[in-house]
Amino acid sequence: MHQLGIPFARVEMDIVHGATRTPEFLAKNPNGRIPTLELPDGTLLAESRAILF
């Protein structure tokens, strides 16, 4: 995204302390894994290949 000039906000998650296991995060990605990309229209992409595409 940086190379394409697309603005974004990076949010770091503390996976060691369960940040990807909270109900709020699991609502975005039920697998509880990162990366997860949330687009401006609310679409969520949770797989790295989908994000790269």
**Mean pLDDT per 10-residue run, the chain (53 residues)?**
92 94 95 93 92 88
Residue ranges per structural domain of the chain: 15-52
pLDDT the model gives residue 44: 95
Give domain 15-52's CATH superfamily: Glutaredoxin (3.40.30.10)
Distances (CA, A) of 31 to 7, 27, 39, 42: 26, 9, 18, 18
- For residue 44, list its beta bridge partners: 38
How far apart (Å, rounded) are the C-alpha atoms in residues 13 and 46? 14
0.85 surpassed by pTM: no
pLDDT the model gives residue 37: 94
CA angle 4, 51, 38 (to 5 degrees): 95
Q: By the 8 A CB rule, do 7 and 23 touch?
A: no
Which amino acid, residue 19? A
